Amino acid sequence: MQLGDQRESSNVEDRRGIGMVGGGLGVGGIVIALVAYFLGVDPAVVSDVAQQVASERGQETREVPRGAPTDQQGQFASKVLGSTEDVWGKLFASSGSRYRLPTLVLYDGQVRSACGMGQSAMGPFYCPGDEKLYLDLAFFRDLQRRFGAPGDFAQAYVIAHEVGHHVQKQTGAFQKMEAARARSQSEQNRISVRMELQADCYAGVWGHHAGTMNQLDPGDIAEALNAATAIGDDRLQKQAQGRVVPEAFTHGSSAQRVRWFKRGLDSGRPQDCDTFAAASL
């Protein structure tokens, strides 16, 4: 990626190395279980983690640094976030609304959020309760080694996907997921898949406009498509348990993830990302 001229976002909390800080458990760990970017994790484990810390109180060991980090990886994440802010700010303004800027929280190991307890093993996640994206930068190493998806644009795709969940928070999509929680597990999974594919499409929308800002290198798109393929539910299930169980999908198959990312990438139009109205995913 070509981010040399891209401004760094100041909406970053760098909690690395300072232990657990921050608020209560809010809407509960189940939200994290539904929107964690790379699941591959038993939701029961996520629930257990949230319950384990429910009686604990976070203790801030020192003030959380805010603003663009000074290390290379932190600066990269900050610039990607800044790029998404520029793109979504313009897209929202063009429709007569205002884009609320999310906060990116960098942490290591584990972290408290308004949605409950997060752990590195769960992957990056977005919490609608505090409108923050949570990322352990060590995940980028896992992205390359565990998922076979190297490259800086693959990393940017991870951030842009979580920003896509923030866009959903502002456009009301999370209400559909909350409603599904009151129904069956199968319905909850079905809505989760549509949520995640829409976030993939929104990541593609950002990628389209990043391209028009000359921020993409040759090969960047291939990196993102490789990442989308690597983390499809079918591929992850096959690796983890040797078989594919479509009714247990929460994020969509590799083909679906690639399809919806490309849809947003090709058009650059958020209105083309309505996975909830699509007859077929």
Segments making up each domain of the chain, as ranges: 12-273
* Predicted pLDDT at 18: 82
Task: Between 198 and 230, name the one with better pLDDT.
Answer: 198
* Predicted pLDDT at 232: 87
Largest CA-CA distance found in the chain, in angstroms, rounded: 51
Mean pLDDT of the chain: 85
Beta carbons of 105 and 132 less than 8 angstroms apart: yes
* Predicted pLDDT at 36: 46
Structure-token match 């389209």, residue found: 208
Beta carbons of 12 and 68 less than 8 angstroms apart: yes
Residue 40: pLDDT above 90?
Answer: no
Q: Exposed (0-12), middle (13-18) or buried (19+): which is 157, by Cβ within 10 Å? A: buried
The pair of three-digit structure tokens given for residue 212, joined into one six-digit string: 């028009």
* Predicted pLDDT at 182: 67
* Predicted pLDDT at 239: 79
**Residue 207, SS3 per DSSP:** helix
State the pLDDT confidence band at 19, using cuts at 50, 70 and 90: low
* Predicted pLDDT at 3: 96
By C-alpha distance, which of 122, 105, 87 is closest to 209? 87
By C-alpha distance, which of 225, 198, 218 is closest to 126? 198
Residue 92: pLDDT above 70?
Answer: yes
Beta carbons of 122 and 107 less than 8 angstroms apart: no
* Predicted pLDDT at 26: 39
**How far is residue 228's CA from residue 244's CA, in Å, rounded to a whole number?**
17
Query: Bridge partners of 113?
Result: 116
User: Stretch 191-217: mean pLDDT, rounded?
Assistant: 96
Q: How many CB atoms lie within 10 A of CB 92?
A: 17
